[in-house]
């Protein structure tokens, strides 16, 4: 039986009588999302994406915000042979950012765009991202209500990235929800496909796909891949069917968190250009009594289709209950009908099919944003569970960066410099391996980023291969010891055997500082708010950036906090009247030489 949860202080009947909105996300009693955590040394670490957290808030509280909750306390160079082409270009339209003020509420400063995915076909480029811009609120008896929550944004360029037009991705017909987690791809005919999280017209949580038939200028309504109340972290890939070379298939993978605390890896497949999908679970791992072994928790899948062979690869992270987690890769030679694991054969690993990794970042108390791995800046505060808390925080994930062409596989990830999960003294580097035989054997890991005493973390890598099989490009965020952040692009001309320092380019034209995303509303470590209170605490850069190779160039797209916003003067705001950085999306073309 399906039901819509009743709202405290304002029932949906009164909201609907105003003709303003449809009900909150419905929750199926028999198939609701279960715990979305992994246990690390007795500490429960939240695995949910930004979109999943927003959806869960709507499920619990409805689409109405009640009168303001608490009285706040006081607020607390790389040399290179590679050149960029032109300066950094802001992709999102700043005119869509907005501030909404209502009596009795803290201001709503809706100035967050980040977590990027990019695809190109000829001169047409589509940049996708999470966005808080233009989320209209209206005052109703008892509180405020969102007219819609369209958190999936995109920008289109028809001139190779020189100019951009911004819009919001259409929802499922009749729905008022899209929840971001953007992923974009194109087929050989120039059609673009976007996958994201959302809800259907009845308020049930969905994995969904939009298609563009005009080169990325506009997108049609979202098509439901599967209604999955436990769904999260979807990703899309488009490529030729190995048995039908003239047809491009659309594949979507995602995590489905179960009510018993486990997680499944699911696949949606379309053979009709995303008009319809078939779905199934492709991996449901069991528990293991040894806490150091892979457990029944997984996420961050990233499907890739080999453009020559049509072979489908699905890398993802499977968690342990100890310091070391594991990258695994499923492969299918029959368009997703059957899968087998690639082997890594790492000495001492619990399975031949796992690649041990220690995820990057310090384990922090992010208040209402959960217990998270993150990078940070500024002075520490005492958090819960003996962890630290920082006002300037951006949470991290370890999503494998993967590419494949004609059986040659490329894999990069960010790895801690410590063997201890969440070690506050750790740094991080981007590591890379390659397989020349379809994943039977792999090269030894090498470090992608230059070693520099002024650089502390190298995180959230994205990988692309050029038209030449020797060209490998890896983009990543670099956090310096002073807390500021840049985006760098490492380049290899020998298939990833080396990434010379003089072939690493600084993509950002200037470093930026993280915005205030974990602001205390009392003297305690929780409750907390983001400066953009429509966004979860500790969310700023997003969970990935993006890079692709096209037209003899490399295109990079990332979340960037170089721009600022001045907060309205308001006695309820912990940032009243202050100016601080805020998140936008920037693009850069780099010569692929």
- Residue 410 and residue 2: Cα distance in Å, rounded? 44
3-state DSSP call for residue 173?
coil
Task: Say which DSSP state 258 is in.
Answer: -
Phi-psi category of 211—alpha, beta or left, where left has phi over 0 and alpha has psi -120 to 50? beta
Q: How confident is the model at residue 9 (pLDDT cuts 50, 70, 90)?
A: very low
Q: What is the pLDDT of residues 337-375, one digit of tens each?
A: 999 999 999 999 999 999 999 999 999 999 999 999 999
- For 124-172, write each residue's pLDDT tens digit: 999 999 999 999 999 988 899 999 999 999 999 999 999 999 999 999 9
Q: What is the pLDDT of residues 568-593, one digit of tens each?
A: 999 999 999 999 999 999 999 998 66
Q: What is the mean pLDDT of residues 429-450?
A: 98
**Mean pLDDT throughout 363-389?**
97
Q: Which three-class secondary structure state does DSSP give residue 389?
A: strand
Residue 54 is inside which H or E element, if any? helix 50-61
The β-bridge relationship of strands 428-435 and 408-416 is: antiparallel
Per-residue pLDDT, 310: 98
Between the CA of residue 143 and those of 18, 68, 327, 565, what are the distances in Å? 13, 9, 45, 26
Higher pLDDT, 46 or 12: 46
CA distance 543 to 462: 11
> Helix, strand, or coil here: 328?
strand
**pLDDT average, residue stretch 292-315:** 97
- Please give the pLDDT value at position 77: 36
| pLDDT for position 114 | 97
| pLDDT tens digit sequence for 539-556 | 999 999 999 999 999 999
**244: which residues sit within 8 A by CB, 6+ positions away?**
none
Instruction: Work out the pLDDT band at 461, boundaries 50, 70, 90.
Output: very high
169-186: per-residue pLDDT in tens? Answer: 999 999 999 999 999 999
pLDDT band at 58 (very low <50, low <70, confident <90, very high): confident
The pLDDT assigned to 82 comes to: 54
In this structure, the dihedral spanned by the alpha carbons of residues 180, 36, 341 and 495, taken in order and rounded to 10 degrees, is 50
Cβ atoms 513, 88 nearer than 8 A: no
Reduced DSSP (H G I as helix, E B as strand, rest coil) percent helix, strand, coil of the chain, to 5: 5, 45, 50
**Which is nearest to 461 in space by CA: 499, 510, 407?**
499
CA dist 491 and 553 (Å) reads 12
């Amino acid at each position: 039986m399906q039901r819509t949860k009743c709202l405290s202080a304002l029932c949906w009947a009164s909201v609907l009588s105003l003709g303003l909105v449809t009900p909150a996300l419905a929750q199926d009693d028999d198939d609701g999302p279960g715990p979305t955590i992994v246990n690390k040394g007795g500490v429960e670490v939240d695995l949910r994406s930004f979109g999943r957290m927003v959806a869960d808030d709507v499920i619990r509280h409805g689409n109405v915000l009640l009168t303001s909750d608490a009285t706040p306390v006081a607020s607390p160079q790389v040399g290179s042979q590679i050149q960029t082409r032109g300066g950094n270009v802001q992709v999102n339209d700043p005119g869509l950012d907005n501030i909404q003020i209502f009596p009795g509420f803290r201001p709503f400063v809706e100035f967050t765009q980040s977590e990027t995915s990019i695809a190109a076909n000829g001169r047409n480029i589509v940049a996708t991202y999470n966005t808080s811009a233009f989320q209209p609120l209206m005052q109703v008896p008892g509180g405020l209500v969102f007219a819609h929550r369209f958190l999936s944004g995109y920008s289109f360029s028809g001139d190779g990235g020189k100019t951009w037009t911004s819009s919001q991705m259409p929802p499922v017909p009749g729905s008022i929800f899209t929840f971001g987690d953007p992923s974009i791809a194109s087929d050989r005919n120039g059609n673009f496909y976007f996958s994201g999280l959302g809800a259907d017209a009845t308020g049930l949580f969905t994995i969904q796909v939009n298609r563009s038939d005009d080169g990325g200028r506009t997108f049609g309504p979202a098509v439901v891949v599967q209604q999955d109340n436990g769904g999260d972290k979807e990703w899309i890939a488009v490529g030729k069917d190995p048995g039908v070379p003239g047809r491009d298939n659309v594949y979507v993978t995602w995590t489905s968190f179960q009510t018993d605390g486990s997680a499944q890896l699911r696949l949606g497949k379309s053979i009709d250009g995303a008009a319809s999908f078939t779905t199934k679970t492709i991996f449901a791992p069991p528990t293991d009594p040894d806490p150091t072994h892979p457990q029944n928790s997984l996420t961050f899948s990233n499907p890739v289709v080999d453009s020559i062979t049509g072979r489908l690869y699905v890398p993802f992270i499977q968690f342990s209950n100890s310091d070391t987690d594991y990258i695994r890769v499923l492969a299918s030679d029959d368009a997703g009908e059957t899968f087998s694991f690639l082997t890594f054969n790492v000495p001492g690993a619990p399975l031949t099919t796992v690649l041990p990794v220690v995820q990057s970042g310090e384990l922090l108390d992010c208040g209402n944003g959960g217990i998270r791995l993150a990078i940070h800046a500024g002075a520490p505060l005492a958090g819960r569970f003996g962890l630290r808390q920082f006002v300037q925080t951006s949470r991290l994930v370890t999503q494998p960066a993967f590419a494949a062409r004609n059986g040659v596989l490329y894999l990069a990830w960010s790895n801690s410099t410590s063997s201890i999960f969440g070690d506050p003294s750790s740094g991080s580097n981007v590591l890379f391996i390659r397989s020349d035989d379809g994943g039977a054997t792999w090269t030894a890991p090498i470090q992608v980023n230059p070693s520099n005493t002024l650089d502390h973390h190298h995180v959230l890598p994205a990988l692309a291969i050029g038209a030449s099989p020797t060209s490998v490009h890896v983009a990543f965020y670099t956090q310096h010891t002073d807390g500021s952040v840049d985006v760098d692009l490492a380049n290899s001309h020998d298939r990833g055997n080396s990434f010379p320092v003089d072939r690493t380019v600084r993509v950002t034209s200037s470093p930026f500082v993280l915005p205030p995303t974990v602001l205390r509303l009392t003297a305690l470590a929780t409750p907390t708010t983001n400066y953009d209170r429509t966004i979860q605490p500790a969310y700023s850069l997003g969970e990935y950036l993006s890079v692709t190779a096209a037209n003899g160039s490399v295109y990079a797209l990332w979340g960037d906090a170089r721009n600022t916003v001045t907060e309205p003067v308001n006695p309820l705001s912990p940032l009243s009247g202050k100016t601080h950085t805020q998140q936008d999306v920037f693009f850069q073309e780099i010569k692929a030489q």
